[in-house]
Amino acid sequence: MPKNKGKGGKNRRRGKNENERDKRELVFKEDGQEYAQVTRMLGNGRLEALCFDGSKRLCHIRGKLRKKVWINQGDIILLGLREYQDAKADVIMKYNTEEARQLKTYGELPEHAKINETGMFGEGEDDEGVMFDDFADDRDMDSDDADVSNTYTYWL
């Protein structure tokens, strides 16, 4: 086996992400761009986002952001719209929570947009109509009755 003569592995070569600490200039949308909130991560560099113009779009994370900027559900992002495909867009940049609050105060984002919260823009309460019945412990029942006891009632 050859002896390691380097000063570290793959993670050292990548370096530290020191860009996040620096305060960067706030970027506003231009023609052909739209603000959106991530509703679902799909994998393979894709996500589903609800744009603040009211439409839901399938988005592709560009290569520059792919492994350097981690995008999560609920984040505010800037999309580049496609002229030839209205249902698809490309992620141009991700706003951190401070920048998203600034956009909201400048009136770029709607007032009802939720920043850094678990609930999403445009979503209602999904679990209002779900009702679970209470049952006795499985220890008190026979093994045949235990299979039947796990029933749920759904109200839609």
What is the model's pLDDT at position 38? Answer: 93
Report which of 35, 80, 41, 38 is spatially closest to residue 53, judged by C-alpha positions.
Answer: 35
Residue in the structure block whose two tokens are 């520059």: 64
Q: Round to whole Å and give the CA distance between 32 and 53.
A: 12
What Cα–Cα distance (Å) separates residue 93 from each residue in 28, 71, 124, 128, 136?
11, 10, 27, 35, 52
Query: How much is the pLDDT for 88?
Result: 94
Residue percentage of the chain with pLDDT more than 70: 60
3-state per-residue secondary structure call for 8-47 = CCHHHHHCCCCCCCCCCCCCCCCCCEEEEEEEEEEECCEE
Average pLDDT in the chain: 78
Model confidence band, residue 95 (pLDDT cutoffs 50, 70, 90) = very high
